[in-house]
Structure 1
């Protein structure tokens, strides 16, 4: 995903940080993720590769950004990145500063021209500034003009020789003043948005607030960001369907029996969620999470699930499992919880421990949704789920970790052995390999386009272009493990998000045929280079590939050696220099 990072260092005004995160999320999700980033990450982590824009919010009174961050942020901008300073004007600073003479003042410096610009942040006000001013867009065919409230720092950019443009002006009694400004530094840009955002009452209907939002959306568009068009998308969970492959209708009944659903409707309370199970014929009430049981091989019509054709899915799954030579046992993807909208497919399985513990021990469960409203990524990261993103989580229950596990000698083809806990780390690598291999098949991209899909260690899916250094994330994998008492077995939940049909500016599988990944092609004129690509076929190809690999992985006791050569062929890091930081001094 493309990240908008918001600086959250100690000098940032807390209310400004909160407002900025909320406001940018409101204007940019689902096209971009919006996340805070601290000093430690900026100084020590490889954050620049996935960052589209770094945002600097308003600072505390009397504080400035540490000059120690200057070389880092300048390197990001000169390399082609963008920085947006909110509630800030700019002033020209003499002297090279960061790259020449020592300076305690933070600034952006162009080494080629010697130009230096320092942000001038609006000072924190003790009382709400009710000054009104008219802000008008500049330099574009579209004219946006709104009246806003609040203070605004003044620009002092006389003598700047770098390519620059005024994005907006403030129309006041004494004339026109710069309100927004962008300047090129090296190969990148620094932009300054001066109108005060601190007066915004997010979520209110105040006209001044709406004007601020309209203008800031315009500013974001002018610096190259693509703001999503409001679509009326549902922001709360919708009912889920519990169903299985029609030729294995007994799997749903096994889940029903295992959960103790003696009569329907049935309320099942758990730690994270409360579920109400219904029969397929019943009407579900909208106040809690509902699960509609489809017994006897019943599959909802495409009209009930317009974003995912379940009948087509099961047909593709049967064919894919046959191609891969999967055994006739309850397979990956044959028992499904599907919903148009959920909070998180991962949370539903790994945070509801009662549900997890009472599901059948030999039946894998797939949690699948067309949209997530609270998707999860690795660590504290979130995973947004725009339209066209394939999001699912696969539960592999009761994986034996010891020969003494009651499931170590299970008759299930998917649990043919046991694996030591130390081998569990390889599961994320194995699933990433399954995704990469699936993309190379003719059912998704084919071998030529599919070769651009690579694995970024440890759990990301990237695409790259032949002869280009351009690398973009299109997917991610999250593995959670719930150990049973005694540690002899574990429930494994593998979550995956993969951009399949996402629109620009996101990169997705359907957009890989274009000359460059960053080209802002209109989706309406996309040539049909992948006429057979579908969500259903993509998912079933991945699941069947992984099931075959998993069977071999468990049969070998968790040995990753048989997959290592193929994994190295598919990963992103071949021939890259590595810096070892665990030795002193660090070595390349």
Structure 2
């Protein structure tokens, strides 16, 4: 069984404009959530990461396609082209459509604006010529307009346009279907084809010269009445037809469209609390070095590497009125602060889409109550954590002691790992938890789909460089993903006697599968470890996503237990209870590893859940023979106890070690691609 195609990757590199990346992200999120995970990928990711096996759609947004060529010509184009030939789907808007054509003719005869040349990707077998309408200027809305399109289903659509071309002589070309034509006269010759579908090998591409992904509500309206503001009004009035047509384009690419009721919710405030509320004071004091503003009204600001955090005391001091507080220049009322839905705001960073200003409510005298966090019961979690800890012989006391919770966040790993000024001042064990993620991250360029019902969290761990135990030092960084995988399996199968029957298996390097004896295995959980280093200490962010009670996109633990273990009460696991159980088990397993190392009880238990023992695999390395990569065949032996690499024994006895990073693994088909040592 091949990996499920769950990732939508939007290119975000040299040549892209922030507005184009942002609009593609917002529109695709609204139409494809929760079926797919939408995230960005840069040139390095295209060139080096194993993004292809799980990618449902690769999107190239607007901008300037010469930047795409500079970054990707050669190897990058070859990877994209071969992926589409093998069944991949490509979506190009404006510059992304020029880039995917055999030849570009742009503003011919107009001096420095002129761009003419062949393109390596060449999905469309002909010329993309532009601009179709006058007035275009780089970095400007001077040429922006609402253009009328006539679709292949004879519907009229109004779309944002700024600098796009047309597909020359598209009528009658083999494997090309015109999906929309310009209704207005164009300024260049070659026809009126504005949007086409191209069949390319086993795959296909939708190439759009206008921008149907630009939703008018996401455009910046001028402060005064202008032709641009009038254009926005016209697009708003015609929005339903544009949305329906965009759905049609995505269906043409074989994607599953949402029902319109499951659009990603807005980002929410964060709630920071401790098992013992007074302990939070010490954490906040430790952040004083990076607090950029500390006002008398209890408002503290931290402007960090990736995000900005504005701290509000959830239980204000006497004399402090919430009416005096503001967030993003908007007054906050007491009722607003007590809501779980304080709006966090997307802020662009360079060419990114995920810099956020986060309001954070800090709890110094209490835990968040259900009115503020209706989807996570802090009191139940802390009580369960305390009880399970009391039963442990390892005396765990750190993981889950402090919780940073958000109902909807970008990514729990991103909030911690990409804000070094924050984690470098946090104690080990701080855990970020979310009910929804809009940009969950997985290994390489994979993303983790986070529908309602998934358990999503990240644990921050300080791992010392020095130490006497078998798992001390850099070894802990390599093995942490294996420790986490084992902890998940242990937590599930030891929750009650009957749960020992749950067929959880570890898929190397960082996934957990449900693998019943007579059914295909389905993914249950994923693990991501990010690391940095400071003051002789590894700062590790361990992200875990588990399908706990959500039926899609694969299966969930509770659904499996309900069907296979009907004698047990259901739901089998609540989020609060299972998070507490898993955090204690994770800390126990981590402490066991730090003290005793990999060899011994941990290694033995790990292989008890291992799904690859003796599996025959084909390894493709970088040696080219007769025009294709050489294939080496062997059997999986296990994980090397020192390096953490996958050990494969060749048919003739040769021993190979395979890194977890920079390789592509399709174990369901017995295939490991790329680097072999």
Q: TM-score w.r.t. structure 1 length?
A: 0.68
Cross-structure match for 1:291: 361
Cross-structure match for 2:556: 509
Instruction: For residue 167 of structure 2, give the secondary structure of its aligned residue in structure 1.
Output: coil
Cross-structure match for 1:330: 397
Mapped to 2, the partners of 1:68 and 1:199 lie a distance apart of 31
Mapped to 2, the partners of 1:253 and 1:305 lie a distance apart of 20
Would you say the 8 A contact 1:326–1:544 is kept in 2? no
Cross-structure match for 2:345: none
- Within the candidate set 618, 635, 638, 1:577 is matched to 618
Instruction: For residue 25 of structure 1, give the secondary structure of its aligned residue in structure 2.
Output: helix
Map residues 549-564 of structure 1 onto 2, 5 A cutoff: 549-556=589-596, 558-559=597-598, 562-564=601-603
Mapped to 2, the partners of 1:358 and 1:338 lie a distance apart of 18
Aligned residues: 517
Would you say the 8 A contact 2:101–2:122 is kept in 1? no
Mapped to 2, the partners of 1:157 and 1:91 lie a distance apart of 15
- Cα distance per residue 1:294-317 (max 9 Å; x no partner): 54xx44332321111223323543
Mapped to 2, the partners of 1:472 and 1:166 lie a distance apart of 38
Would you say the 8 A contact 1:454–1:461 is kept in 2? yes
Residues 1:312 and 2:409 are matched in the alignment? no
* 1:177–1:357 Cα change, 3 Å: closer
Map residues 31-110 of structure 1 onto 2, 5 A cutoff: 31-38=36-43, 41-42=45-46, 44-57=48-61, 60=65, 72-87=79-94, 88=97, 106-107=121-122
* 1:587–1:337 Cα change, 3 Å: same
Cross-structure match for 1:203: 219
Shift of 1:4: 2.3
Q: Which has the higher strand share?
A: 2
Would you say the 8 A contact 1:443–1:541 is kept in 2? no
* 1:37–1:428 Cα change, 3 Å: same
* 1:463–1:307 Cα change, 3 Å: same
Mapped to 2, the partners of 1:335 and 1:165 lie a distance apart of 56
Residues 1:238 and 2:305 are matched in the alignment? no
Q: TM-score w.r.t. structure 2 length?
A: 0.60
Mapped to 1, the partners of 2:270 and 2:13 lie a distance apart of 41
Residues 1:545 and 2:585 are matched in the alignment? yes
* 1:469–1:185 Cα change, 3 Å: farther
Mapped to 1, the partners of 2:493 and 2:58 lie a distance apart of 34
- Within the candidate set 445, 458, 466, 1:393 is matched to 458
- Within the candidate set 462, 466, 479, 1:402 is matched to 466
RMSD over equivalenced CA pairs, Å: 5.2
Gaps of 5+ in 1: 94-102, 109-116, 245-250, 409-415, 515-527
* 1:373–1:330 Cα change, 3 Å: same
Residues 1:531 and 2:599 are matched in the alignment? no
Shift of 1:35: 1.8
- Cα distance per residue 1:144-177 (max 9 Å; x no partner): 63234655334525263x6x86644555689x96
Would you say the 8 A contact 1:134–1:146 is kept in 2? yes
Shift of 1:187: 4.1
Residues 1:26 and 2:26 are matched in the alignment? yes
Residues 1:225 and 2:242 are matched in the alignment? no
Cross-structure match for 1:153: 167
Residues 1:4 and 2:8 are matched in the alignment? yes
Cross-structure match for 2:564: none
Cross-structure match for 1:496: 544
Would you say the 8 A contact 2:37–2:440 is kept in 1? no
Would you say the 8 A contact 1:436–1:570 is kept in 2? yes
